[in-house]
Structure 1
Amino acid sequence: MTKSNVESFDLDHRLVKAPYVRVAGRKELGGGVEIIKYDLRFCQPNKAHLEMATVHSIEHMMANFMRDYTDKLIGFAPMGCQTGFYAITNNMEQDELLSALESALNDILNATEVPAANERQCGWGANHDLAGAQAAVRNYLAHKDEWLEVMA
């Protein structure tokens, strides 16, 4: 198989064991800046996925809450396959990521609403599911001790 210029396309999705957290890439930009991309996989690829309203709500809440615990988060984005998310960071090593991730996930469990879930602040403000997001996060946190076990 020819190597792709997209890191996740080179990952054999049949061999991973979700849920997990893995470093998906590092890019030195110079001047002390290193972009580190994390693959935060919630569901087993090709076996399960998150509903879009759940994905959307987790994305809103993580983008908001994680920034309460770090200034190194550049972006938090859903995977198109709806099995997880990418956290794009600046010089944020794994231990720091795990700490901020767990804190933000716990904030989701305690949330009473999805931030910016309205037509003024969101392109599809009606497409959110707080209960679904909380259920997915509860399951992800229940497997926290397995997050670093990426391969089956």
Structure 2
Amino acid sequence: MSDKMNVESFNLDHTKVKAPYVRLAGTKTGFHGDEIYKYDVRFKQPNQAHMEMPALHSLEHLMAELARNHTDKIVDISPMGCQTGFYVSLINHDDFTDVLRILEATLNDVLDATEVPACNEVQCGFAASHSLEGAKQLAREFLNEKETWPNVFA
């Protein structure tokens, strides 16, 4: 890999990272000075483990809904196609310690959830593919390793 690619994560050596972790993956400045901070929230070790789709899908719904109870800075929470983590984007909020707090609070809310938000054919494009228990297990595993979140490389 010699040429730098346009996609930030394609320039990351996935063999050198050690999940779980949270890292700042990039920033963008808007025309009016707003800053978008994109975080790589890696749940599973790349090329060794992945999240099953029903659990990942439910965790996406839960995090997208519940994170907004802890901050108004969330722009988006989106799953990675490789099924190893999520991208979390925030506007005008570069406090890494607070981002970790928001993630922890959100995932603790996931553990208390009794249903997956918007888990129906009207609000979801694949309502049959959900697992609340799977989402809770992913949240539990990630929370159990929270001391490693700031450490990206082994």
Q: Which band: TM-score by shorter chain?
A: over 0.9
Matching residue of 1:76? 77
Residue 30 of structure 1 and its aligned partner are, at CA, apart by 4.1
Q: How far is 1:31 from its partner?
A: 3.0
Specify the alignment match of 1:23 in structure 2: 24
Determine the structure 2 residue equivalent to 1:109. 111
Alignment of 1:122-133 (within 5 A): 122-133=124-135
1:37 corresponds to which letter in structure 2? K
- Equivalenced residue count is 152
Comparing 142-151 and 91-100, the one that deviates more: 91-100
Structure 1 runs (4+) greater than 3 angstroms displaced: none
Aligned-partner Cα distance in 2 for 1:21–1:30: 27
Task: Provide the residue aligned with 1:3 in structure 2.
Answer: 4
Q: Does 1:151 align with 2:153?
A: yes
- Does 1:40 find its partner at 2:12? no
Q: Which amino acid in the other structure matches residue 45 of structure 2?
A: Q
**Structure 1 portions without partners, runs of 5+:** none
- Distance apart, 1:10 and its partner CA: 0.1
Residues 3-42 of structure 1 show CA distances to partners (whole Å, capped at 9, x for unaligned) of 0000000000000000000000011114341010000000
More divergent stretch after superposition (92-101 vs 16-25) = 92-101
Q: Point out where structure 2 has 5 or more consecutive residues left out of the alignment.
A: none
Partner of 2:138: 136
Q: Which SS does the other structure have where 1:100 is aligned?
A: helix
Partner amino acid for 1:120? V
- Residue 90 of structure 1 is matched in structure 2 by 91
Q: Distance in 2 between matches of 1:115 and 1:39?
A: 23
Percent of pairs with identical residues: 55
**Partner AA of 1:81 in structure 2:** C
Q: For 2:93 and 2:20, locate their aligned partners in 1 and report how far apart those are by CA, in whole Å.
A: 20
